[in-house]
Amino acid sequence: MGRSIVRLKDIAERTGFSVNTVSLALRQSARIPEDTRVVIQQAAEALNYAPNHVAKSLVSRQTMTIGLVLTEITNPMLTHVAQAIELALAERGYSTLFATSNNDLATEKRVIEMFRSRQVDGMLIYPRNHRDLDHIRRLRDNNYPVVLLVADLDAGIDAVCMDERRGAYQATRHLIDIGHQRIGIIDGAKPGGNFEKREGYARALTEAGLSTDESLVADPQGNAVIRGYWAMDRLMNLAKPPTALLAACDSLAMGALRWTQKNGYRVPQDVAIMGFDNIEFAEHAATPISSVNYAVQMVTEQAVERLIGLIGAGDVLPEPRVTMIEPDLVIRDSTNG
């Protein structure tokens, strides 16, 4: 047997007040005397009354829920992003529905459609592939509020994100400036995913007059620490291994660092290591890891504000706007010997 639903009418019958008076009292209206509000609220608690948000949404056309789609939850940076977004939305009276694509495009499309069927007011999305955005662009073209957490300037979809291309460029430039010419990268951008870091890395090498060597590019096939370990193993067993390394995230950098410890290499004297995202673990590694800082609070606050603005715009959304936040480097012992 299903649970019985307590209605405003039930509270009205219990207290002797009208349904309108009960409704106003439960919304803390100043039009209702305090002693009346107390009686009605006590009756509501006794009857275990809960507001019917579904009914309200039919009237307001808003569910006060936002869908959040991330590529994975095991990445510490994305976990931090999810927490920050949930808190920022809660402060504005919104609930967050959360799903991961697990780096699978078909799953990403499915969870987006699932959120649409749940009538969420808008979505924040960290897409699996930063270039394959047609399915998300169709939402925007149909005036559906959606904000990406990573994108290119020509995405045609609202986005608030770190300038990852610039961050990788700065990180590689730092390694060049401290004397390195043979710089490896652990990155899984190809055949799909985040090309921006790879492009920033290549641009810095080209500007310094250094050739890009594909043998120095290691695809870790994931972002776990152990993936970084084995990618580092491949790079350091080359006939001419790199003297410095850029990892696409700090978890990979920690795996690379662990490889050096197991194999008797000194960091940064024998090989310098640069991470990306500046997660807490990077700072507290056995050798603190230099990293590109991901300004989580700035990204999430601006992304949430943009999404709320789009929701409030009604049936005709403004032109898409992409906000790229300038990254900064956090230099630690792994590159500062």
Q: In angstroms, what CA-CA distances link 247 with 45, 227, 269, 270, 305?
A: 55, 11, 18, 17, 31
Tell me what pLDDT residue 58 has.
42
**Per-residue confidence at 117, pLDDT binned at 50, 70, 90?**
confident
Mean pLDDT of all residues in 149-177: 92
Reply yes or no on whether the pLDDT at 14 is more than 60: yes
Compute the distance between CA of residue 177 and CA of residue 91 in angstroms, rounded to an integer: 44
pLDDT tens sequence across 253-299:
999 999 999 999 999 999 999 999 999 999 999 999 999 999 999 99
For residues 61-82, give the mean pLDDT. Answer: 86
pLDDT for the residue numbered 90? 92
- The whole-number average pLDDT for the span 103-111 is 92
Mean pLDDT estimate for the chain: 89
The pLDDT score that the predictor gives to residue 325 is 93
Higher pLDDT, 119 or 167: 167
Percentage above 70 pLDDT, the chain:
93
- Residue 193: per-residue pLDDT: 55
pLDDT of residue 59: 47
- List Cβ neighbours of 76 (8 Å cut-off, separation of 6 or more): 250, 251, 277, 279, 280, 281
Q: How confident is the model at residue 2 (pLDDT cuts 50, 70, 90)?
A: very low
Amino acid, single-letter form, for residue 10: D
Best CA proximity match to 112, nearest among 60, 162, 71:
71
Other residues' Cβ atoms within 10 Å of the Cβ of residue 58: 11
| Structure confidence at residue 190 (pLDDT) | 61
